[in-house]
A and B are shown apart, each in its own frame.
Chain A
Amino acid sequence: SQQGEEDPQALSIQEGENATMNCSYKTSINNLQWYRQNSGRGLVHLILIRSNEREKHSGRLRVTLDTSKKSSSLLITASRAADTASYFCATEISGTYKYIFGTGTRLKVLA
C-alpha cells in the first residue's frame, strides 16, 4: 500500500504566487524527501529533511516535517512557469533502504 499521500492532487496558481503541497505517511521514517517530475521524465531530487529536523530551506523551497502528525509540507515561493511539474514526497522507512513514494501533486503555474 502507498506510504505517502499527497494533497492536493492538482494545483493551479498564477506566476508569483506561493504553492503549498502536503504529504502524509504512515510509519516511522529515517527521512522524507521531495522530488519533482517534469512531464514524462525521471524524477529529480529537490530536498531532504531528516526525522529529527522540523524545517529546512533550499532557495525558494521550504519543507516542514511534523513527525507527531506524520506529515510534511512543501512550499514553493514566488512560483515560476518553469515550476510546472508533478511533485512527490518519498519516505525512507526506518530500518530499511526502502523508499515509498506518494501519489503526487500536479502543479501548474500560469504565466
Chain B
Amino acid sequence: DVKVTQSSRYLVKRTGEKVFLECVQDMDHENMFWYRQDPGLGLRLIYFSYDVKMKEKGDIPEGYSVSREKKERFSLILESASTNQTSMYLCASSPHRGPTYEQYFGPGTRLTVT
C-alpha cells in the first residue's frame, strides 16, 4: 500500500515562528504536492514538485517555501508564521505517469498559529 505520512497531525505555533511541515512517501513517486484546505475554499495548491530539487508555484505560494532534497521527502516551510496561515495542510504524491494518475494523500496537519 502506498503510504504518505506527515510529521504531525496537530501543530500549534506562535506568530513569527518558522514552521516546518514534513511529508514522506514510500512509493518512489516523482510528483509531490502541498495543499491547504479551508472551509468553503476547498483545496488550494501551494507548491508542487515533479522531481528532486524541482519546484513549481501553485495558486497560493506567498508566505511559503518548499524543499525537496530527496525523492521521498517534500517539506513545506512557513518562513514567518502568521495567523492567516492557520489551516489544514495536506501533502500528496503521484507518479509521473502510470495506469492511473491518482494522488495519494497524507492524513493532514492541522496548524494553528496564535
* Chain A interface residues (CB < 8 Å from chain B): 1-2, 4, 30-31, 33, 35, 40-45, 48, 88, 90, 92, 97-104
Contact = CB atoms under 8 A, between A and B. Distances in A.
Contact of A48 (B44, B48, B50, B102): B102
A92 B48 CA distance: 13
Nearest to B4: A42
B50 A97 contact: yes
Contacts of B30: 97
Interface string B88-107: 10101010100011111111
A45 B42 contact: no
Interface of B: 4, 30-31, 33, 35, 40-45, 48, 50, 56, 58-59, 88, 90, 92, 94, 96, 100-108, 110
Given A1-B59, A99-B103, A103-B40, A43 B45 contact: no
Contacts of B96: 97
Nearest to B102: A45
17 contacts: A2-B44, A33-B102, A33-B103, A35-B103, A42-B90, A42-B106, A43-B43, A43-B90, A43-B92, A43-B103, A48-B101, A99-B45, A99-B103, A100-B45, A101-B35, A101-B44, A103-B42
Contacts of A40: 88, 108, 110
B56 A98 contact: yes
Given A41-B107, A45-B103, A104 B31 contact: no
B111 to A, nearest CB: 13
B42 A104 contact: yes
B108 to A, nearest CB: 5
A64 B24 CA distance: 34
